Structure 1
Amino acid sequence: MAGRTGTSSADLPAPRLARGITVFALFCFGLIVFNNVLRDGVSGGKAVVALACSAAVFSIQLFNSSAKARWWPMRKRIVMLVVQAVFTLGPILVFGANWGGMLGCLAGSCLLLLPRRPGWTLYGVCCLTAFVHAWVTGVEPLMTIYVAQSTTLTGLIIYGLTRLADLVEEVFSSREERARAAVLQERLRFARDLHDLLGYSLSSITLKTELVNRLVTSRPDRAREEIAEVLDISRQALADVRLVASGYREMSLAAEVDSVASTLRSADVKAEVEVACSRLHPVVDTVLATALREGVTNILRHSRVQHCEIRAHSDEETVFLRLVNDGVTKTVHPPAPWSGSGIGNLETRLAAIGGRVEAGVREDGRFHLLVEAPLKPQVPATAAPHDVPQAVA
């Protein structure tokens, strides 16, 4: 998991390495300038001033190539470019020295600090200036071409390395964001599944235990049967919790219908059950079973139900599940899709496979829950049943 969504310890130095390569490349350009100044025969105080200017250009370039430079206000960017231009062009005008591509640093800064159109325009001006200066000062043709190429490549290399370092930092930052999102998504999945599983199971256990308490003296045989069902529900709840922790869970609509019918009978609810569905895709089967469990849980919790209808059928493309109950005693609020529970949870699960949910009290005063799901869910055929309905981004 950490290898795919998190940031391993071996990967942590990568942004620093990218910045380090950029700094090293700038340092090498500075050494080239020092060498060119000494080679041109500049000596004494002039050499000291020229080398100081080149060191200043190198230092300014470090700031311009930093990650924070992309967040500077435009006024600060222009000031930095003007200062760099003064230290770059000053020695050329005063000493007439051949900087051997030093204008490339200024060209790269133009690309980094200015919008695209003016940045590339000034980049071209810097390259042309280097060529014209070398030509006018009588530099031999091959050296003139070298100076122009050096300026062009230096600007591109500085721009490319700096932007590459920026992208590396953005990638690592996005990986951390994805890791955090994956953790939140897993927490949401866990909350949804616990609500869907334990909410129904605990409600069923409560109802059946109350029934056992009433029957234990008058009808001990029936009480023993109900106790056996309570034990089965408890064992199933324990197994479901383990499956939730492992991230894999598959449910069956047919099996869930039998379970909820027994629970409704224990609550003295008259249930009309009619299920006529062909074999369902595991993903669809799990989502519909979850919807049925959530619907019955809401019925038992939020209504004084006496009669309930559970009907499921399918056509060539869609399977329909409908729950209708009376005894509505609580106002139904609009669902919250990201609540991790209730109708909002069902909407999220159904939407993930291309289905939908309708829920509300209709004119007949009864609560209607209608679930529609495609027979072929919108997931790859090789996906596990829990992939989409449980892990919805």
Structure 2
Amino acid sequence: MLSRHKASPERDETSRPRDETGAAQGQFPAPRLGRFVLTAALLCYFSVTLLNILSSHNSVAEVAAATLCLLGLLGLQLLHSRPGAQLAPARVKALTLCVQALLTYLPLLVFRTQWGSMAGFLAGSLLLLLPPVSAWSLYAVVGASMLAPPLLVDLPVVETFYYVQSTLLTGLVVFGLTRLADLIRVLHETRGELTRVAVTQERLRFARDLHDLLGYSLSAITLKGELIHRLLPAHPVRAKAEVEDVLTMSRQSLADVRSVASGYRDMSLEEEISSAESVLNAADVRVVARVRTGPLEREMDTVFATVLREAVTNVLRHSSATHCEIAAERSAGQVWLTIVNDGAASGYRDPSPHSGSGLGNLQTRLGVFDGELTAAQGADGTFRLIARVPDREGPDTAAIGPSGIESAA
């Protein structure tokens, strides 16, 4: 016995294939649907007027003239309702509005009340094309002008009011549907632009994370490899220990690549300091580390660890330092990280075309916390990198955790 399973509406909607505009296949994209509704409404209004004329026993010549005038008005209204019509030159708008006014009022002399609803399109066009003050004033004038045709045929007051009210209502419908179609189009384009911006930001994040996470690891692996090459002949035992470090770093680099692909990886400033000490010691750089920040927010801890990693990478790649000082502390409502080394060459600039944008990446990360990054070379040959972030947790936070660590290697 076969059983039938009825798919839920949610499943049907989400599983329906969609095109590049985001609309489900078989459906109109939103901007086209908005224009379709507007055009259909205009055609309905004009067809009603044409039916009124055909049912009033007019001559063939009068029906033909009315049809030509209706086609002209329809073309002008579509022109006035197109996207960006209000941006047309003032002379063009004045000319088309004058032609529409002639095609609106001249047939009134022949068809009287049968033609009355056409004035609503002139009122709508005025609202679409002219500045608000002038547009609404003329909109009221067009509505008031529709008092004349009913009075010429001695219609009751109620029917006279109906023609005025229908003219004003038609103008509002034309104006509202046109603006709604434009709004749908703008929102649709904005959604596409936001999608492109999101993709660009994700690409920048990916590039920034690869640089910040892997630049240090690859530099450290290169340095360790050179050290192993020197140690192998005379110190094989120490070389073996360095190989273990390289294997650990390579595994971490692989994990970093995976974390970049899936999101952002949390890092610890204290752990990064321990790693920096190991790498810098292998490069014969004496390290003095001082950390008195207490526990940090997870995101802030990651940012400071990233700053330290970039600073150590620059020490390894761009300088011949023999001493490096790392200090992290809370003071004056700020959290500070300072890295100083004595190996900056005067006027140094990396000539490589792929020298990277590490400091720019760090400034972007610190900017999320309203922080600042400063890098300057001193007269004594030292290079100082300072990262500063406002302390959002207050001065009591430092007292909750450990008082800090201090080491020299």
TM-score normalised to structure 2 length: 0.85
Q: CA separation in 1, counterparts of 2:111 and 2:290?
A: 97
Deviates more, 1:92-101 or 1:116-125: 92-101
Between the aligned partners of 1:226 and 1:279, the Cα distance in structure 2 is 32
User: What CA distance in whole angstroms lies between the structure 2 residues aligned with 1:301 and 1:33?
Assistant: 81
Selected match of 1:114 from 130, 149, 158: 130
Q: How does 1:134-145 map to 2 (within 5 A)?
A: 134-145=150-161
CA contact (8 A) 2:113 2:150 kept: no
359, 364, 367: which one aligns with 1:351: 367
Shift of 1:136: 4.4
1:106-146 Cα shifts (integer Å, max 9, x gaps): 01011111122222122111111112332344222121111
Letter in 1 for 2:62: K
Deviations 1:263-298 (A, max 9, x none): 100111111111122111100000000000011111
Q: Percent sequence identity over matched residues?
A: 47
Aligned length: 368
Contact 2:337/2:386 (8 A) holds in 1: yes
- 1:128 and 2:144 aligned: yes
The question of 1:290 aligning with 2:301 is answered no
Q: Residue 179 of structure 2 corresponds to which residue in structure 1?
A: 163
Aligned partner of 1:9 in structure 2 is: 23
Aligned to 1:303: 319
Aligned amino acid, residue 265 of structure 1: N
Change (3 A) 1:279 1:12: farther
The separation in 2 between residues aligned to 1:73 and 1:327, in whole angstroms, is 65
Structure 2 equivalent of residue 236 of structure 1: 252
Q: How far apart, CA to CA, are the structure 2 residues paired with 1:283 and 1:364?
A: 35
Gaps of 5+ in 1: 334-338, 378-393
Whole-angstrom CA distance in 2 between matches of 1:193 and 1:350: 14
1:22-60 residue CA offsets vs partner (Å, 9 max, x unmatched): 001001110221133234443331222123212221222
User: Structure 2 matches for 1:367-386, cutoff 5 A?
Assistant: 367-376=383-392
Alignment RMSD: 2.1
- 2: distance between equivalents of 1:134 and 1:278? 86
1:178-217 alignment to 2 at 5 Å? Answer: 178-217=194-233
User: 2-side partners of 1:361 and 1:137: how far apart?
Assistant: 93
Match of 2:404 in 1: none
- CA–CA distance in structure 2, aligned partners of residues 239 and 294 of structure 1: 18
Q: Distance in 2 between matches of 1:263 and 1:252?
A: 16
2:52 & 2:380 partners in 1: Cα distance?
A: 93
Q: Which residue of 2 aligns with 1:264?
A: 280
Q: Is the CA contact 2:231–2:238 (under 8 Å) kept in the aligned structure 1?
A: yes
Report if aligned partners of 1:200, 1:294 keep a CA contact under 8 Å in 2.
Answer: yes
Match in the other structure for 1:65: 81
Distance between the aligned counterparts of 1:37 and 1:278, measured in 2? Answer: 87
Tell me if 1:87 matches 2:103: yes
8 Å CA contact 1:269–1:306 kept in 2: the answer is: yes
- Cα offset, 1:97, TM superposition: 4.9
1:160-219 per-residue CA deviation (whole Å, 9 max, x = no partner) reads 000000000000000000000001000000000000011101110111111111111111
Query: Residues 331 and 136 of structure 1: is their aligned pair in 2 closer, same or farther, counting only changes over 3 Å?
Result: farther
The superposition leaves residues 319-353 of structure 1 with CA deviations (integer Å, 9 ceiling, x where unpaired) of 211000112126367xxxxx982211111110111
Q: Does 1:103 align with 2:119?
A: yes
Tell me, what secondary structure is at the counterpart of 2:375? Answer: strand
Query: Which runs of no fewer than 5 residues in structure 2 stay unpaired?
Result: 1-16, 350-354, 394-409
Aligned to 1:77: 93
